[in-house]
Amino acid sequence: MLDYPQIGKMAPNFLTIGVYKNRLGKIRLSDYYGKKYVILVFYPANFTSVSPTELIRLSDRISEFRKLSTQILAISVDSPFSHLHYLLAKRIQGGLDQLNYPLISDLNQSITNKYRLLTNDGLSFPGLFIIDKEGIIQYYTVNNLLCGRSVNELLRILKSIQYVKENPGQACPVDWTYGDEILYSHPLKSKIYFKTLYSYKKS
């Protein structure tokens, strides 16, 4: 029986075929270890209604992820040739023309199954995983098939994960964005944050 992916554990590794800049090539998750964070974006299938809205928005904002040393990899259960067709299709047709990151093929459903996202219909739930440079899962979500994800929230979470890893002993409170007041993870030191916050609100 497969273990469920968990925060703090190694992400299931994989080797498969990806398509990037209209070229097919092998992609191995572990090749990014020690180099980049990885965001795995699972989506149900090519040419589904919600998927291109998410994939295109991620592509249009790729520079923000690159500044954070993060690689995006999008995965579905389609073949590499279906991916290529999807990438060649114009956006006005619901395609992904000029996508700025690879699409990964999981035709045998092994990756989707490892990440426990396979639906009863053989598609993938819209799951998303943030994996750090050591290959450890730091965050994941699973959405309703018809509910699009937020790129703004993804960037916020990614920045907060990177911040706490680079600043041991600190934590990010609710709705934290970079530059906001931080919180200490120690329960006694954390009182400094609450004292400052609620003293300010009283005045």
pLDDT tens per residue across span 86-119: 999 999 988 999 999 999 999 999 999 999 999 9
| DSSP class of 95 | -
d(C-alpha 120, C-alpha 63), whole Å? 36
pLDDT tens per residue across span 161-191: 999 999 999 999 899 998 888 888 877 777 7
Q: What integer pLDDT is reported at residue 3 of this predicted model?
A: 75
Instruction: Out of 3.90.1300.10, 3.40.630.10, 3.40.50.720, 3.40.30.10, select the CATH number for domain 15-149.
Output: 3.40.30.10
pLDDT tens per residue across span 123-159: 999 999 999 999 999 999 999 999 999 999 999 999 9
- Which residue in the block uniquely carries the two structure tokens 């920045």? 159
d(C-alpha 105, C-alpha 107), whole Å? 6
SS3 of residue 184 by DSSP: strand
Give pTM, 2 decimals: 0.92
Q: What integer pLDDT is reported at residue 1 of this predicted model?
A: 47
> What percentage of the chain exceeds 70 in pLDDT?
96
Confidence of residue 196 (pLDDT cuts 50, 70, 90): confident
d(C-alpha 11, C-alpha 9), whole Å? 6
| DSSP class of 136 | B
Domain ranges of the chain: 15-149
Classify residue 117 as exposed, middle or buried by CB count within 10 Å of its CB (0-12, 13-18, 19+).
buried
Q: How far is CA 161 from CA 10, 114, 131, 182, in A?
A: 16, 24, 10, 13
SS3 of residue 92 by DSSP: helix
Q: What integer pLDDT is reported at residue 201 of this predicted model?
A: 57
Q: What integer pLDDT is reported at residue 179 of this predicted model?
A: 87
